[in-house]
Amino acid sequence: MCGRFVSASPPDELARYFEAEQADHALEANYNVAPTAEVYVVREADGHRQLTTLRWGLVPFWAKEAKVGAKMINARAESLMDKPAFRNAVRRHRCLVPADGFYEWAKVAGQKAKQPYFVYRPDGEPLVFAGLWERWRGQGPDGAEQTLETCAIVTCGANPTMAAVHDRMPVLLAPADWDRWLDPSAGDDPAGLDRLSRLLVPAPEGLLALRPVSTAVNRVANNGPELLEPEPQPLAPR
């Protein structure tokens, strides 16, 4: 799964990297992105890639309340084509979610505490998660009409690197696959959906590296580049 990640790259750099139109507004660097936070995504609009911001935690268009999104931060690749919460989004609303890395927690033999790891690309390139988005309209907490655009990150089984700490990981898309994932017509028929599903596989071995970091990342209130520093005495994973 993916429950926390890092989004510290400025929007102008992201726009250049994705050859996308600039974001409508800039977010502060976030070294501990948690569910319901605003995050950058790239989606297609009128034939162009557009960098914009959405709330992390997908709210299906048919949901009665927006609060369900807090539990829908990930969409399992194995079931998203059929699961009601994601079925419309995978056909119509796909996006890319850039990240500088993400966190995962490994179980430790004989202890309740888990050891957090920062997962990143050693070559310094951003990670690009396969994402889904939706637009929801309904009543906010104050009773006023509200429109929300939200997103979820697609996950799959772990590759050998990730399997050392967890059995799942985000789907990472290579640049050659971005257009296919973003193509609005790709979900129009079974053949197109089948081509999309073939993208939802573990990352190639050797693409990622893991670094043990401090348990300070466990608290969402802790947010700064110091969270990425190596932990000199990590707990041994099970």
Task: Supply the residues annotated as catalytic.
Answer: 2, 104
Three-state secondary-structure class, residue 113: coil
CA angle 204–4–175, rounded 5-degree value? 35
Please identify which residue in the block is written with the tokens 């990622």: 208
- Complete edge-to-edge strand list for the sheet that includes strand 114-120: 30-33, 4-7, 101-107, 114-120, 209-212
Pick from 32, 38, 36, 35: nearest CA to 11: 38
- Looking at residue 9, the DSSP 8-state letter turns out to be S
3-state helix, strand, coil in the chain (%, to 5): 20, 35, 40
